């Protein structure tokens, strides 16, 4: 069928207008950001990280309920994590934030298409999540919360509090994919401090009691609790076990110190989540994850609980107190 030239032009202009309106409508649709957390929803630290993420997104022009929609899924047991990951993928978000190594590893196994910004992943190259820090390569990029030197810092703090320390118990969640990297970091540093390391796998409150009974056999023992969703979930049991046995311990997150733990030291994760928001912003504006390098920590946070130190009978050196970012006295 042939159309008169005027009618043909009218149809062409109408089609172009429809396409343009469609593109405008699509652009006006809220961008969907999915968040898969490896942590429990009642984790006070995790809530602070999410608050920082949302605030930074807002400052970058992305407001939940207006031009963006945020969906949070809080993963607990391993059997639930994969189900929640599948549920999130079914929603087809524009970008995903994978918080914690377990969440990132679970998503990597089933998603190679939706852009994903990972946060709090110890060694994404070793885990095979990205090709390299400089050139991630796939649909994943993000932020690592690990430096090999962190093992030395944990041991340094323990030795400053207990100069005669001879044994250090390491609390490990064997199911956490990051456990090996953190264990290696402590093992590399241990000879310089002349300490023996004792590893205890912990998955339940009962495991915590067994581990600390073992750690407390010698009077010159200290403890390092490695980062993991499980140890965060058990933080109250872990702090209580250390307090009852008067064992000095260094923890990975502030919620331990807030719960009465002696010291926490780790990457400043509030800062890291803010930086993750900037990557989400760039991806939503068209940048590929493969073109965004994986970044390492730039800020660390030292929290000292002086009330806990007094209860345990330890004196925190003034040099440590001066270096602390937060001092808890009440």
DSSP string spanning 24-85? HHHHHSPEEEEEEESS-TT-HHHHHHHHHHHHHHHHTT--BTTTEEEEEEE--SHHHHHHHH
Instruction: Check whether residue 73 and residue 220 sit in a common domain.
Output: no
CA 50, CA 304: separation in Å to the nearest integer? 23
Nearest to 147 by CA among 270, 303, 297: 297
* Residues linked to residue 143 through DSSP beta bridges, in sequence order: 119, 295
- Note whether 41 and 54 are same-domain residues: yes
Write the pLDDT tens digit of every residue in 177-204: 889 999 999 999 999 999 999 999 999 9
Model confidence band, residue 244 (pLDDT cutoffs 50, 70, 90): very high
First to last CA, the chain: 85
Q: Beta 221-225 vs 196-201: how paired, if at all?
A: unpaired
Residue 49 lies in a domain: yes
Residue 5 pLDDT level (bands cut at 50, 70, 90): low
**Is 23 part of any domain?**
no
- Is the separation of the CB atoms in 247 and 224 below 8 Å? no
Sign of torsion over alpha carbons 120, 124, 126, 129: positive
| CATH at residue 185 | 3.40.50.2300
Residues 104, 106: Cα–Cα separation, whole Å: 5
Torsion angle in degrees (nearest 10) through CA of 231, 234, 236, 237: -110
Taking a C-beta distance cutoff of 8 angstroms, is the pair 208, 234 a contact? yes
Write down the residue that tokens 């209580």 correspond to.
240
Q: Tell me, what DSSP letter sits at residue 291?
A: G
pLDDT the model gives residue 11: 52
Distance, in Å, from the CA atom of 33 to the CA atom of 229, rounded to the nearest integer, reads: 22
Asked if 87 and 98 sit in the same domain, the reply is yes
Task: Report pLDDT for 42.
Answer: 87
Question: 12 or 105, which is more confident?
Answer: 105
Q: What is the pLDDT of residues 69-103, one digit of tens each?
A: 999 999 865 668 899 999 999 999 999 999 999 99
Whole-number Å distance between alpha carbons of 250 and 161: 10
pLDDT digits (tens, 9 = 90+) for 60-71: 999 999 999 999
Decide if pLDDT at 24 tops 90.
Answer: no
In a domain, 78, yes or no: yes
Residues 164 and 70 occupy one common structural domain: no
Same domain, yes or no: 201 and 308: yes
CB 261 within 8 A of CB 107: no
CA distance 69 to 94: 10
Asked if 218 and 284 sit in the same domain, the reply is no
Residue 193 lies in a domain: yes
Same domain, 324 and 290: no
Same domain, residue pair 214 and 292: no
Beta bridge partners of 35: 72, 97
Number of domains the chain is built from: 2
- Are both 165 and 66 inside the same structural domain? no
Same domain for 295 and 305? Answer: no
Is 11 within a domain?
no
Q: To which H or E segment does residue 237 belong?
A: helix 235-244
Query: Which domain range does residue 100 map to?
Result: 29-146+269-299
Judge contact between 104 and 118, C-beta under 8 A: yes
Residues 154 and 288 in one domain: no
Q: Sign of torsion, CA 93 89 77 222?
A: negative
Domain assignment of residue 9, yes or no = no
Q: In sequence order, what are the beta bridge partners of 12?
A: none
Kindly give, in sequence order, each residue whose CB lies less than 8 Å from that of residue 319, ignoring residues fewer than 6 positions away: 160
Whether 6 is in a domain gets the answer: no
pTM: 0.86
Distance of CA 210 to the CA centre of its chain: 27
Within a domain: 5: no
Q: Which two tokens stand for residue 253?
A: 């997150």
């Amino acid at each position: 069928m042939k159309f008169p030239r005027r009618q043909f032009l009218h149809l062409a202009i109408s089609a172009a207008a429809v396409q343009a309106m469609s593109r405008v409508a699509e652009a006006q649709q809220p961008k969907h950001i999915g968040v898969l957390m490896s942590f429990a929803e009642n984790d006070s630290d995790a809530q602070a990280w999410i608050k920082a993420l949302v605030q930074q997104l807002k400052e970058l022009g992305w407001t939940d309920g207006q031009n963006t929609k945020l969906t949070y899924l809080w993963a607990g047991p391993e059997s639930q994590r994969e189900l929640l990951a599948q549920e999130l993928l079914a929603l087809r978000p524009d970008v995903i934030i994978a918080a914690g190594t377990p969440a990132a590893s679970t998503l990597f196994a089933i998603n190679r298409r939706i852009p994903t910004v990972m946060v709090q992943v110890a060694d994404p190259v070793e885990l095979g999540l990205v090709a390299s820090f400089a050139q991630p390569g796939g649909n994943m990029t993000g932020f690592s919360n690990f430096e090999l030197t962190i093992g030395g810092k944990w041991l340094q703090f323990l030795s400053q509090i207990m100069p005669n320390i001879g044994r250090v118990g390491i609390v490990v969640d064997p199911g956490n994919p990051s456990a090996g990297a953190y264990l290696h970091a402590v093992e590399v540093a241990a000879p310089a401090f002349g300490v023996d390391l004792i590893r205890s796998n912990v998955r339940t409150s009962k495991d915590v009691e067994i581990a600390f009974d073992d750690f407390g056999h010698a009077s010159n023992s200290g403890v390092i609790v490695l980062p993991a969703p499980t140890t965060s979930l058990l933080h109250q049991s872990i702090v209580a076990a250390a307090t009852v046995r008067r064992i000095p311990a260094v923890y990975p997150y502030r919620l331990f110190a807030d719960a009465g733990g002696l010291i926490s030291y780790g990457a400043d994760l509030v800062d890291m989540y803010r930086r993750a928001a900037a990557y989400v912003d760039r991806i939503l504006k068209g940048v590929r994850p493969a073109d965004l390098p994986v970044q390492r920590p730039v800020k660390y946070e030292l929290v000292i609980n002086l009330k806990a130190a007094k209860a345990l009978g330890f004196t925190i050196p003034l040099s440590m107190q001066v270096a602390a970012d937060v001092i808890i006295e009440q």
